[in-house]
Amino acid sequence: MADRLVCRECHRVQDSSITEEDACQACGSTSLTEDWAGYVIIAHPEQSEIASEMEVTEPGQYALKVR
């Protein structure tokens, strides 16, 4: 999983087919990195305290720490 890219802006974990030259599938940012730690899957952001803390409004896979 560590070889997957994460968006520095929204912390969303990208599909394995995405490269560093591509844009984030969620927010469109081109700032992607392989340097991240922690992983959370948010299914119901409207009911999740973690989603609230991370300011996540869409279900998906997110990195907890992005460098």
Output the known binding site for Zn(2+): 7, 10, 24, 27
Rounded CA-CA distance 38/28 in Å is 22
Output the known binding site: 7, 10, 24, 27
User: Does the pLDDT value for residue 1 go beyond 70?
Assistant: no
pTM summary value? 0.89
Give residue for tokens 């119901």: 44
13 DSSP 8-state letter:
B
pLDDT tens for each residue of 3-59: 899 999 999 999 999 988 999 999 999 999 999 999 999 999 999 999 999 999 999
Domains, the chain: 6-66 (2.20.28.90)
Return the pLDDT at 2: 58
Return the pLDDT at 66: 96
Return the pLDDT at 64: 96
